[in-house]
Chains A and B, each alone.
Chain A
Amino acid sequence: MSDFGGLYDAILNGDQKTSVALTKQALDEGVEPLDLIHRYMIPAMDEAGKRFECEDFFVPELLLAARAMKGALELLRPRLAASGAQPAGRVVIGTVKGDLHDIGKNLVSSMLEGGGFEVTDLGADVSPERFVEAVRKTGAQIVCLSALLTVTMPSMKTTIEAFRQAGIRDQVKVLIGGAPVTEQYAREIGADGYGGNANVAVALARQIVAAS
């Protein structure tokens, strides 16, 4: 059997073509999906996260690593599902109403997928009603709201209020993030958590799932 250490490098270097090709090869050779995930894929994403923390990686490198991870995971998903493995959790994510910025949201979305979460990405300029609908449809436990503009931050509050009015506030934990967003703002609008970067967002999502 071949050594698939190259999968670790491919993900860390954000090389999706290679990560997908190696994963395919590994599956063809009969390697267990969980073995690939735990030996190469998760360690690669952990290393990417560490490099981000020490300012060796910035947003683009992290995004590329997460996409390389996602490409590989998509190949594994049917086999994992067949073996009865569940996703780490279900997340609905989007940039709030009035805000078209999506770089940060895309990063968090990819990092969550890389972390094994099933992510429903609603895109940008998402109305509170669409968030409510998506939570009902997917049964998500976590909702992530993003905003880059100070003027669209109030849409986060409106969205949380919409969950309350729809009677689903208790079903979900709401995490918020974005350049102007702060921990204090999260408390003020009654969100359940604030992630200063994509790493923190994934860690918070894991904590929520572990506690539930």
Chain B
Amino acid sequence: MTQLQKWLAAGPLVTDGAWGTELQNRGLAAGEAPDSWNLAHPERVEEVGTAYREAGSRVILTNTFRSNPIALAGSGLEGETEAINRAGVAISRKAAAGQALVFASIGPTGKLLMTGDVTAGQVRDAFAGQAAALAEAGADALVIETMSDVEEAGLALAAARETGLPVIVSFAFDSGRKRDRTMTGATPEQAARVAEEGGADAVGANCGAGPAAFAEICRRLRAACDLPVWLKPNAGLPSVVDGKVLYSESPDEFAASAVELLGAGASFIGGCCGTSPEFIRALAKRAGACVSS
């Protein structure tokens, strides 16, 4: 039994929701790098983790989504890679208060390998540096998320596995008419193959669409491999009202359809864009009833 399977032995786990919008509510300016707050305002980042843990998250992530040196270079912060990642894990560990696992977030570089904007070597080194810092700081597992390109995901997975921690690889299926392809055209089947062949402990989908669209993605991932499935849908579809971005689903609506994803075989369930601790509270309530019944 793998470490991940041990954690799942008692049933599916509720993860967390969006962090960026929570940080904005605490004063993060538009365009400011959210990850820089791990050093500048660790107490406000911790508040977000605490809010999710109190809402019922049994797994919380870290504020390190953009903390690979290639992405950090966009904000001139690549020299702080190690410090930002270490601080991210320490903050979430404190927020978890022994009641939640800390899975460290690794997001894409934002550059395309296929067009030669970055080389495979640069991408591998970037993820290796980030993964090592997250592991040394004591993360329980690593979550490579919002991936589009299977090649980049494969490089991140190989780098993350070097740490010996459990690794989850999650893709954003936000393209194509049925929203079942990534931006680079990868299907759930291709994603599952990259995850399984690369030795991931779980495969998943996050962002891209609301929970309703995730049921089919979940079924296809499960049919294509034997790995546990990690899902974090958005709170429905975004629309802009009076200059503010609103997502179409309320916490209850989101929780009602997200909990059905457990029936479709998901092992981890949480939320992405548009979700907040309120959404996770509603989800945890329904998921708890679902697991114990």
- A interface, CB within 8 angstroms of B: 55, 57-61, 63-64, 67, 97-103, 124-125, 150-155, 157, 179-180, 182, 184-185, 188-189
Contact count A vs B, C-beta below 8 Å: 78
Residues from chain B with a CB closer than 8 A to the CB of A55 are 176-177, 181, 185
B291–chain A nearest beta-carbon distance, Å:
33
Determine the distance from Cα of A125 to Cα of B30 in the docked complex, in whole angstroms.
Answer: 11
Residues from chain A with a CB closer than 8 A to the CB of B185 are 55, 57-61
Residues from chain B with a CB closer than 8 A to the CB of A151 are 20-21, 24, 30-31, 245
Q: Give A64's nearest chain B residue, CB to CB.
A: B115
Determine the distance from Cα of A47 to Cα of B208 in the docked complex, in whole angstroms.
Answer: 27
Interface check B99, CB cutoff 8 A = no
Q: Give B115's nearest chain A residue, CB to CB.
A: A63
Q: Which of B175, B245, B273 makes the CB contact (< 8 A) with A153? A: B245
Interface check B122, CB cutoff 8 A = no
A103 and B74 in contact (CB under 8 A), knowing A55-B177, A58-B175, A98-B30? no
Residues from chain B with a CB closer than 8 A to the CB of A152 are 30-31
Interface check B112, CB cutoff 8 A = yes
A153 and B240 in contact (CB under 8 A), knowing A60-B112, A63-B115? yes
Q: Give B24's nearest chain A residue, CB to CB.
A: A151
A53–chain B nearest beta-carbon distance, Å:
10
Q: Give A101's nearest chain B residue, CB to CB.
A: B110
Q: Give B21's nearest chain A residue, CB to CB.
A: A151
Enumerate 25 A-B pairs (CB-CB under 8 Å) in ascending A order: A55-B176, A55-B177, A55-B185, A58-B175, A58-B183, A58-B185, A59-B183, A59-B184, A60-B115, A64-B114, A67-B115, A97-B31, A100-B74, A103-B183, A150-B273, A151-B20, A151-B245, A153-B245, A154-B243, A155-B30, A180-B238, A182-B239, A184-B240, A185-B240, A188-B243
| Residues 3-58 (chain B) with a chain A CB within 8 angstroms | 20-21, 24, 29-32
Q: Give A99's nearest chain B residue, CB to CB.
A: B31
Interface check B174, CB cutoff 8 A = yes
B234–chain A nearest beta-carbon distance, Å:
11
Q: Give A179's nearest chain B residue, CB to CB.
A: B174
Closest 5 pairs between A and B when the two form their complex, measured CB to CB:
A98-B31, A58-B185, A150-B245, A60-B114, A100-B74
Residues from chain B with a CB closer than 8 A to the CB of A99 are 31
Q: Give A186's nearest chain B residue, CB to CB.
A: B240
B184 touches A60 (CB 8 A): yes
Determine the distance from Cα of A96 to Cα of B286 in the docked complex, in whole angstroms.
Answer: 40
Residues from chain A with a CB closer than 8 A to the CB of B111 are 103
- B interface, CB within 8 angstroms of A: 20-21, 24, 29-32, 74-75, 110-112, 114-115, 149, 174-177, 181-185, 238-240, 243, 245, 273
A192–chain B nearest beta-carbon distance, Å:
17
A154 and B30 in contact (CB under 8 A), knowing A100-B110, A101-B110? yes
Residues from chain B with a CB closer than 8 A to the CB of A97 are 31
B149–chain A nearest beta-carbon distance, Å:
8
B74 touches A124 (CB 8 A): yes
Determine the distance from Cα of A150 to Cα of B234 in the docked complex, in whole angstroms.
Answer: 13
Determine the distance from Cα of A11 to Cα of B180 in the docked complex, in whole angstroms.
Answer: 27
Determine the distance from Cα of A186 to Cα of B24 in the docked complex, in whole angstroms.
Answer: 24
Residues from chain B with a CB closer than 8 A to the CB of A185 are 240
Residues from chain A with a CB closer than 8 A to the CB of B240 are 150, 153, 180, 182, 184-185, 188
Residues from chain B with a CB closer than 8 A to the CB of A182 are 239-240
Q: Give B186's nearest chain A residue, CB to CB.
A: A58
Residues from chain B with a CB closer than 8 A to the CB of A153 are 240, 245
A96–chain B nearest beta-carbon distance, Å:
9
B238 touches A150 (CB 8 A): yes
Q: Give A60's nearest chain B residue, CB to CB.
A: B114
A176–chain B nearest beta-carbon distance, Å:
12
